Amino acid sequence: MDAVERVCCPPLSSTALTEAEAAALAAVFKALADPVRLRLLNMIASMDGGEACVCDLTGAFELTAPTISHHLKVLRQAGLIEGERRGTWVYYWAVPEALTRLSGLFALPSLTPA
């Protein structure tokens, strides 16, 4: 049996994570492990124009504004979103590089021979 036959499936990533990379990604996954934060990130990333006012987000949840602000702060600290105050409101947008890194972590490498 050759090496190709012994492998049950291709690896999830083309390179192994370092200890530091794994720790950083674990913090991101911890931030995403909450259903409210996962929904908030999805809402922000899918908004027309690429950004969302906090006033557009709070109505989708039966939570207080301070609780929504806490969840947004956790997403910011994880590097998944950024925000900017404009007058009374804060506007948020997803960080494309962070989302691309997450999606690339689970992308299968090309299986076509070179």
Q: Which band of pLDDT confidence, cut at 50, 70 and 90, is reported for residue 29?
A: very high
What's the CA gap between 75 and 36, in Å, rounded? 11
More confident of the two residues 107 and 65 = 65
* pLDDT mean over 28-57: 94
Q: Which of 65, 66, 61, 102 is nearest to 81 (CA)?
A: 102
pLDDT digits (tens, 9 = 90+) for 60-84: 999 999 999 999 999 999 999 999 9
Determine the distance from the C-alpha atom of residue 33 to the mean position of all C-alpha atoms in its chain, rounded to a whole number. Answer: 10
pTM comes to 0.78
Task: Look at residue 38 in the predicted model and tell me its pLDDT.
Answer: 95
SS3 call for 53: strand
Q: Are 105 and 12 in contact (CB under 8 A)?
A: yes
More confident of the two residues 108 and 114 = 108
Mean pLDDT of the chain: 85
Q: Which of 1, 31, 8, 15 is nearest to 107 (CA)?
A: 15
- Catalogue all structural domains in the chain, each as residue range(s) with its CATH number: 35-107 (1.10.10.10)
